[in-house]
Amino acid sequence: MPNAPLQPVATLGIDIGKNSFHLIGLDARGAIVLRQKLSRGQVEQRLVNMPTCLIGMEACVGAHHLSRQLLALGHDVKLIPLSS
């Protein structure tokens, strides 16, 4: 799976971990075009150069801070509540 998508990413899912973040990008048809594991400090750097897209992530510790950073970059961020 390429680190730089061949097709534009329409939707991005971010799994927030303690030390690493996993990004999965889907194109407009729903095919996976991006799969990356990044450290906490690399996430914003990676998304600065990415065209704006819909980003979904679980509403957990740190998600609100990251979502504000991504909103400032022009992305549409949706926080998904933790399911019980």
pLDDT band at 5 (very low <50, low <70, confident <90, very high): low
Q: What percent of the chain has pLDDT over 90?
A: 65
| Residue showing tokens 């450290």 | 39
Domain boundaries, the chain: 11-80
Beta-bridge partner residues of 16: 21
Give Cα 54 to chain centroid, integer Å.
Answer: 8
The yes/no answer on whether domain 11-80 falls in CATH 3.30.70.270 is: no
Q: Which pLDDT score, from 0 to 100, does residue 18 have? A: 84
pLDDT average, residue stretch 3-19: 83
- Asked if the model's pLDDT at residue 83 lies above 80, the reply is no
pTM as predicted? 0.85
pLDDT at 79: 95
Angstrom distance (rounded) from CA 66 to CA 78: 11
pLDDT digits (tens, 9 = 90+) for 24-64: 999 999 999 999 999 988 988 888 889 999 999 999 888 99
At 54 the three-state DSSP class reads strand
